[in-house]
């Protein structure tokens, strides 16, 4: 190549100046060591020369790549396009930024941006094409990541809009009865005591919904705080049951099974937040069970590394279509009765709290009716639970 560069078009030898030689050496060094994939092909697509990067990126030694057809290294889906590119090159004399996917020896394909220019013989006849291919793998990876991030942003925006719409509806639900009680009392249709009882009931419901929405907002922003301390699980369960007993239907029995070991054991948790979880799960069991039995039990695992709390009821169970999304936002465990109202946020919040405690919570239907909720917490909060 260097000798050919020293010839005039008429074939006469021309002495190469030192600066010309240095320039040539720099260009040759760039050609061989550049991250750009260079190759030269004839009019039939046969590779006349290539740099090391071209051969290495495709998984071959340079000696094997030279002399083969460039179409061997084109992705099957791009073969037709590559034929058209080289056909157009012979007519136009250039190739301008064409996307071409190459196929490695291991059949992995990757994208490149191809440009080309014509090479002529000493008589000016075009007999070869110099190709420069820029690997686009990282660019495509970044593009996919950006597209994925955009999709996630769209989904979050959609979820936010749905959340606002549903939350607005839920907030209006207790407000209407409050206004109704006030109007009925003003017109003398109901007693003042009945009106105040109704207003207080709906006001507490409104307060609970506001607290739940605030908790959901904190959970999704990652700002829900936890204050961990050593707590006896058995005492916590008994405290929640004591507060919830007033909601137990007269035809329902409550059975508590806690062995002495699990009753006395202590672990680090946020007392207020775990009380919130147990109150929600046990409260749901009482709300959905009008007759039968509710059972609350706790036990340590054999290796003493985790504690399991199970709340079972004989209520209506969980509809199969609801079960897979039970711990989502605004999903209510509706079993077809009109008095089973709720915000649909309690289980979503409960799962987030249990997860923050490095534990698990799941639900299933019982063979003999009703449902069972299981909470599993690690005894060591520095490690997640493991089977």
Task: Evaluate whether residue 142 is within a structural domain.
Answer: no
- 140 in Cβ contact with 148 (< 8 Å): no
264 and 338 fall within a common domain: yes
Residue 272 and residue 126 in one domain: no
Given this model, what pLDDT does residue 332 score? 58
**Are residue 373 and residue 238 in the same domain, yes or no?**
yes
C-alpha distances in angstroms, 251 versus 44, 284, 365?
Answer: 90, 16, 21
CATH number of residue 174's parent domain = 1.10.287.130
DSSP 8-class letter at 35: S
pLDDT at position 262: 78
Give 307-310 contacts, CB < 8 A, sequence gap 24+: 307/233, 307/262, 307/265, 307/267, 307/376, 307/377, 307/379, 308/374, 308/375, 308/376, 309/233, 309/237, 309/278, 309/374, 309/375, 309/376, 309/377, 310/372, 310/373, 310/374, 310/375
Residues 242 and 285 in one domain: yes
Does residue 22 form part of some domain? no
194 and 130: one domain?
no
Q: Contact 49/66 with Cβ under 8 angstroms?
A: yes
| Confidence at 23, pLDDT banded by 50, 70, 90 | low
Span of 42-46, 57-61, 100-104, 214-218 with lowest mean pLDDT: 214-218
Do 319 and 251 reside in the same domain of the chain?
yes
The CATH number for 83's domain is 3.30.450.20
Q: Examine the domain organization and report whether 185 and 277 are in the same domain.
A: no
CA distance linking residue 110 with residue 266, whole number of Å: 56
Show which of 223, 257, 273 is a domain's final residue: 223
**Does a structural domain hold residue 166?**
yes
Say whether both 218 and 235 belong to one domain: no
Q: Tokens representing 66?
A: 């030279």
Residues 6+ apart with CB under 8 A from 310: 295, 296, 297, 298, 372, 373, 374, 375
Closest CA to 37 of 22, 17, 54: 54
| pLDDT class of 382 with cuts at 50, 70, 90 | low
DSSP H helices in 43-136? 52-58, 62-65, 79-92
Judge contact between 290 and 251, C-beta under 8 A. yes
> Over 60: is that where the pLDDT of 202 sits?
yes
Please state the separation of Cα 376 from the chain's center in Å.
24
193 and 242 both lie in a single domain: no
Residue 345 has a pLDDT of 85
Question: Per the domain annotation, does 102 fall within a domain?
Answer: yes
**Gap between the Cα atoms of 382 and 347, Å rounded:** 24
**Which value, to the nearest 10 degrees, does the dihedral of the CA atoms of residues 210, 211, 216, 222 take?**
130
Query: For residues 345 and 284, what is the distance between their CA atoms, to the nearest angstrom?
Result: 12
Tokens in use for 114?
A: 């191809």
Look at residue 3 and tell me if it is in a domain.
no
Beta-bridge mates of residue 365: 371
> Which of 178, 207, 223 marks a domain boundary?
223
Q: Are 300 and 265 in contact (CB under 8 A)?
A: yes
Within a domain: residue 27? no
At which residue do the structure tokens 């013989």 appear? Answer: 121
- Name the residue range of residue 231's domain: 225-387
Q: Considering 175, 203, 223, which residue would you say is the last residue of a domain?
A: 223
Number of domains in the chain: 3
DSSP conformation class of 262:
H
Torsion over CA: 214, 219, 221, 224 (sign): positive
Q: What is the pLDDT of residue 90?
A: 86
The answer to the question of residue 325 being in a domain is yes
Residue 263 pLDDT level (bands cut at 50, 70, 90): confident
The verdict on 289 and 323 lying in the same domain is yes
Together in a domain, 187 and 239: no
Are 55 and 193 part of one and the same domain?
no
Residue 143 domain-assigned (yes or no):
no
Q: Residue 50 and residue 56: Cα distance in Å, rounded?
A: 10
In this predicted structure, the answer to whether residue 269 has a pLDDT above a threshold of 70 is: yes
The domain that holds 258 is classified in CATH as 3.30.565.10
Give the pLDDT confidence of 76-128 residue by residue, as tens digits.
Answer: 999 999 999 999 998 888 899 999 999 999 999 999 999 998 988 777 788 89
């Amino acid at each position: 190549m260097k000798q050919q560069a020293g010839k005039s078009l008429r074939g006469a030898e021309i002495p190469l100046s030192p600066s010309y030689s240095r320039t040539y050496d720099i260009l040759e060094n760039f050609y061989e060591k550049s991250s750009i994939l260079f190759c030269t092909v004839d009019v039939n697509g046969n590779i006349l020369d290539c740099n090391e990067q071209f051969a290495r990126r495709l998984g071959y030694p340079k000696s094997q790549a030279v002399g083969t057809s460039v179409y061997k290294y084109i992705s099957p889906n791009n073969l037709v396009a590559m034929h058209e590119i080289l056909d157009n090159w012979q007519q136009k004399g250039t190739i301008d930024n064409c996307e071409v996917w190459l196929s490695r020896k291991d059949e992995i394909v990757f994208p490149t941006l191809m440009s080309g220019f014509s090479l002529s013989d000493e008589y000016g006849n075009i007999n070869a094409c110099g190709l420069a291919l820029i690997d686009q793998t990282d660019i495509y990876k970044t593009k996919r990541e950006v597209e994925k991030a955009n999709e996630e942003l769209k989904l979050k925006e959609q979820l936010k809009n749905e959340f606002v719409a549903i939350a607005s509806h839920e907030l209006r639900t207790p407000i209407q009865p409050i206004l109704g009680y006030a109007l009925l009392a003003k017109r003398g249709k109901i007693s003042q005591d009945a009106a105040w009882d109704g207003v207080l009931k709906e006001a507490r419901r409104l307060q609970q919904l506001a607290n739940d929405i605030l908790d959901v907002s904190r959970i999704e922003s990652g700002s829900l705080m936890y204050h961990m301390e050593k707590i006896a699980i058995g005492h916590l369960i008994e405290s929640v049951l004591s507060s919830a007993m007033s909601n137990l239907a007269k035809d329902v029995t409550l059975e508590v099974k806690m062995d002495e070991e699990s009753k006395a054991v202590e672990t680090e948790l946020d007392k207020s937040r775990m009380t919130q979880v147990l109150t929600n799960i046990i409260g749901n069991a009482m709300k959905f069970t009008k007759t039968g039995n509710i059972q609350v039990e706790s036990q340590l695992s054999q290796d003493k590394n985790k504690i399991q709390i199970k709340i079972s009821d004989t209520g209506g169970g969980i509809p199969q279509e609801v079960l897979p999304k039970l711990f989502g936002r605004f999903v209510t465990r509706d079993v077809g009765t009109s008095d089973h109202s709720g915000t649909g946020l309690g289980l979503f919040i409960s799962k987030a709290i249990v997860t923050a405690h490095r534990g698990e919570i799941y639900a299933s239907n019982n063979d003999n009716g009703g449902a069972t909720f299981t909470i599993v917490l690690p005894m060591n909060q520095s490690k997640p639970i493991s089977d």
